[in-house]
Amino acid sequence: MKKIVIIGGGFGGVYTARHLEKLFRVDPSVEITLINKTNYFLFTPLLHEVATGSLSARSVSEGLHQVFRNTDVNFLQAEVTQVDREAKKVYTSVGIREYDYLVVATGAETNFFGLENNGVLKLKTLADAKGIRDHVVDSLEKVAHEEDKKEIEKLMTFVVVGAGPTGIEFATELTEFVRDAISGRYSMCKKKAENVRVILVHSGGSILKQFSKYTQGYASCILKKKNIELRLNTKVVEMGKEGVVFLGGEKMPAHTVVWTAGVRAVPPGFLPEVAISKEGRVLVEDTLQLMGDENVFVLGDTAGQEVSAPMLAQVAVAQAKVVANNLYLKTQGKKLSIFTFKSRGMFISLGRWRAAGDIGKFNIQGPFAWWMWRTIYLFKFISWRKRVRIMFEWTYDMFSARDVTEV
């Protein structure tokens, strides 16, 4: 019996397990186990919609027991604490698992670039997204009874740090969420909250470097239209629950500060003595095998090479196919294949009815791009149950005000 253990139930881990299941279906000599901290798979590209009330938390998460029901994949909810590569054992919070082959896809963590985060909000996990939404709703509730002008200004100032794709998608949705809420459910604050400010701070001189000039220009134009204050070449040196301080000493009081300035791969603490790439990712061969250990595969945000692929879901999904195939080839004693990354195009949403995307040499924008963006993401969900649920929530959201209940 060959035992394959996969650590991480995100894009890399879940797609590896799904491919392996197909390759080894009804092969009793192979046992596949997937271990993840939570018992759900999180669809991060739509997390900003949970943070701004368009989608519910349940919509962007798929239960892993459900995903692997009626398959030969065993799912275990546990945290991996240590891997003994000599003994080929995985130590978890609920016991020990032995392996012949190990797959590691434990993702990345928020990168604060050495700044103290002092309790500012971030957008990485489901709990983060729910926390942001509740915090924004709470600010609106406070404005309703606040009389002090300065305090009202602070409550109505929203600072988003980081104008990458996540920061921009979030800032555009946040603007719509707050303004819609004020004109609808919080109409009593209309006068007090005339000056809602969404400030998008970016340390670089331009936005969306990974996109074409065309998409960059379109995104800047939408930010302007939505009155989002884009502050380029601006570095945050201090932040907290009272606002931010910029390099040079300027203070920006704000009740809401959300950090979306990046993620970094951290070599998993449970996997000691591994070579690290210059970005801090675990170094792998072109076959995605761990340098110096042919029985361990690493992929997704965790894996690095001399020239690493970007930290994207589409990279993790493409690597998952290579890892699964290579595991299959390995059990057959055949030569492994190598991973090369080819972008399949990129989209960015810019609030309701607006998106932009680069597909090969083509650039699209506006409502059609928005429809395409939504359709593509819809079909990236694993189950039809979730697709139908999201379709329903999106349709409902188009014709109704966003939910501002604090539940």
Ligand X SMILES: Cc1cc2nc3c(=O)[nH]c(=O)nc-3n(C[C@H](O)[C@H](O)[C@H](O)COP(=O)(O)OP(=O)(O)OC[C@H]3O[C@@H](n4cnc5c(N)ncnc54)[C@H](O)[C@@H]3O)c2cc1C
Q: How far is the CB of 43 from ligand X (least distance, A)?
A: 8
Would you say 142 or 212 has its CB closer to ligand X? 212
User: What is the three-class DSSP state of 304?
Assistant: strand
Least gap, CB of 313 to ligand X (angstroms)? 4
- Please state the closest distance from residue 247 (CB atom) to ligand X, in A: 25
* Count of H-run helices and E-run strands, the chain: 10, 26
Provide the CA 272 distance to its chain's centre, in angstroms.
26
Closer of 127 and 188 to ligand X (Cβ): 127
Instruction: Report d(CA 56, CA 126) in Å as an integer.
Output: 10
Q: 84 and 91 in contact (C-beta within 8 Å)?
A: yes
Answer positive or negative: Cα dihedral of 73, 38, 160, 117. Answer: negative
Helix or strand or coil: residue 238?
Answer: strand
Q: Interface with ligand X by CB under 6 A: which residues? A: 7-13, 35-38, 44-45, 47, 79-80, 105-107, 123-124, 166, 270, 300-302, 311-314, 316
Pick 35 or 193: Cβ nearer ligand X = 35
Residue of closest CB approach to ligand X = 10
Closer to ligand X by CB, 8 or 243: give it: 8
- Tell me how far apart the alpha carbons of residues 204 and 211 are, in angstroms, rounded to a whole number: 15
- From the list 133, 354, 367, the residue with the least C-alpha distance to 226 is 354
- Contact in structure between 377 and 393 (CB atoms under 8 Å): no
- Shortest Å distance, C-beta 82 to ligand X: 10
Which residue lies nearer to ligand X by CB, 14 or 159? 14
Minimum CB separation of residue 169 from ligand X in Å reads: 7
124 or 402, CB closer to ligand X? 124
**Nearest distance from residue 109's CB to ligand X, in Å?**
9
1 exposure class (CB count in 10 Å sphere: 0-12, 13-18, 19+): exposed
